[in-house]
């Protein structure tokens, strides 16, 4: 039997058919494998990728296998993590298991907070102690200075009292009474300042007519002008000042002293409603002014003029009690017997002074240098020129040698 050899075209067709059949079978097998084992498909794909790249990726394949296995089997994944946990680096919580609850952490924070609070509290305490010590040192220095000044003042007053007692003894007055407060025989006496007919005066021992220019209610802007005029005419006067603590007033206090005038007191407040309410209020007011002047100028003032005069009727306290208090303090008070006038023109002031000053051998002229007393400044040159033209007339400031002039009631 003869076998017919197939043609080349048939062979090719047969090979293509077989190839197609083989691919179909292969695809079916791959699909079947994929459905039955998803993990093998992914693994195969990863292997194919690794092979295609021609790179040894065994480690990657192992990781992928592990990941695939974990996804496919959660129980095995958990077990794997638990098995690998001991090999991992100990975590913060593994070393400090108590901190998982946060109690130990917060306790440590509390300790640090308390430590910081103690440190801050101690720092503030040290600062306060330092400041307190500084204040105490400053206060001690100030008190020491004041004590020294007061001691000097007391020594000076004791010397004055001893001198007065000696003068009284030499004069045959062995009673020991104060020459200022008790020995009034040689004092000028004024019944009422407005009653010229009742004014009397003593004759100075040197036979001259002594005139005292006195200015009340300063210092003010007018005080500097008054000082300029006095300097121009080479005349010394007495300033009964009130209490002012601004820089300009303090400078005027000092200028009064520096230019040789007498610094005297006219109350701190010049407020009748406060000054004359009681003896205590009077004392407080006087010492406030006395201490102010001493602190600013170094002068311990010993001369006083009552606001309204010693015969005023505004005081609720007996004027005799106030006079007795001044006497105990060694302070001499001065009234006046020649009044220039208040709130009038300069011409009238000059006329009032020149018409009355010659009636007494010891004349105390009252003028004002308050801020609104411009007329005083205008009248002063005429008053001084008139006094300097009079024979045997001498213009003086009040001093220890001056005999106090008072109003009698």
pLDDT of the residue at 88:
52
Q: What is the DSSP string of 100-120?
A: GGSHHHHHHHHHHHHHHHHHH
The rounded Cα 78 to chain-centroid distance in angstroms is 75
| Token pair for 287 | 């010492």
Place of tokens 């709130």: 343
Buried b (16+ CB within 10 A) or exposed e, 296-319: bbebbbbbbbbbbbbbeeebebeb
| Average pLDDT of the chain, as a whole number | 75
Q: What is the mean pLDDT of residues 319-326?
A: 96
Tokens of 162: 């001893």
Domains in the chain: boundaries: 12-86, 140-177, 188-407
The one-character DSSP state at 97 is: G
List pLDDT tens digits, range 138-180: 888 888 777 766 666 666 556 556 555 554 454 433 333 333 3
Confidence of residue 104 (pLDDT cuts 50, 70, 90): low
Average pLDDT over residues 365-383: 97
Angle between helices 247-258 and 221-233 (to 10 degrees): 20
Please give the CATH architecture assigned to the domain spanning 188-407. Alpha-Beta Barrel (3.20)
Q: What is the Cα–Cα distance from 149 to 317, expressed in whole angstroms?
A: 31
Q: What is the DSSP letter of 70?
A: H
Nearest-angstrom CA–CA distance, 110 and 132: 33
């Amino acid at each position: 039997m003869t076998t017919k050899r197939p043609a080349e075209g048939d062979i090719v067709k047969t090979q293509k058919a077989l190839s197609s059949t083989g691919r179909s079978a292969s695809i079916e097998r791959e699909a079947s494998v994929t459905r039955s084992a998803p993990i093998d498909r992914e693994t195969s794909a990863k292997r194919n990728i690794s092979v295609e790249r021609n790179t040894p990726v065994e480690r990657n394949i192992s990781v992928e296998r592990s990941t695939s296995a974990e996804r496919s089997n959660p129980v095995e994944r958990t077990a794997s993590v638990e098995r690998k946990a001991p090999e991992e680096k100990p975590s913060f919580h593994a070393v400090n298991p108590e901190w998982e609850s946060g109690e130990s952490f917060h306790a440590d924070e509390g300790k640090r907070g308390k430590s910081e609070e103690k440190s801050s509290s101690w720092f503030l305490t040290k600062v306060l102690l330092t400041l307190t010590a500084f204040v105490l040192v400053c206060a001690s220095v100030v008190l020491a200075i004041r004590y020294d000044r007061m001691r000097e003042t007391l020594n000076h007053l004791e010397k004055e009292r001893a001198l007065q007692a000696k003068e009284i003894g030499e004069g045959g007055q062995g009673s020991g009474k104060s020459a200022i407060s008790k020995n009034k025989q040689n004092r000028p006496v004024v019944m009422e300042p407005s009653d010229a007919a009742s004014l009397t005066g003593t004759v100075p021992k040197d036979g001259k007519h002594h005139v005292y220019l006195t200015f009340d209610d300063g210092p003010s802007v007018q005080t500097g002008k008054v000082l300029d005029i006095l300097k121009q005419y080479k005349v010394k006067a007495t300033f009964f000042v009130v209490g002012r603590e601004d820089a300009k007033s303090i400078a005027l206090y000092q200028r009064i002293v520096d230019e040789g005038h007498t610094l005297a007191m006219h109350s701190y407040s010049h407020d009748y409603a406060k000054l004359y309410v009681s003896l205590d209020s009077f004392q407080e007011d006087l010492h406030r002014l006395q201490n102010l002047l001493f602190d600013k100028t170094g002068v311990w003032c010993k001369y006083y003029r009552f606001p309204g005069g010693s015969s005023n009727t505004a005081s609720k306290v007996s004027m005799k009690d106030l006079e007795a208090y001044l006497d105990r303090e060694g302070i001499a008070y001065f009234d006046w017997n020649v009044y220039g006038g208040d709130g009038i023109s300069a011409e009238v002031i000059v006329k009032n002074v020149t018409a009355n000053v010659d009636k007494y051998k010891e004349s105390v002229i009252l003028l004002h240098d308050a801020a609104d007393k411009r007329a005083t400044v205008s009248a002063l040159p005429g008053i001084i020129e008139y006094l300097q033209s009079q024979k045997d007339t001498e213009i003086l400031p009040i001093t220890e040698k001056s005999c106090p002039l008072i109003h009698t009631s």
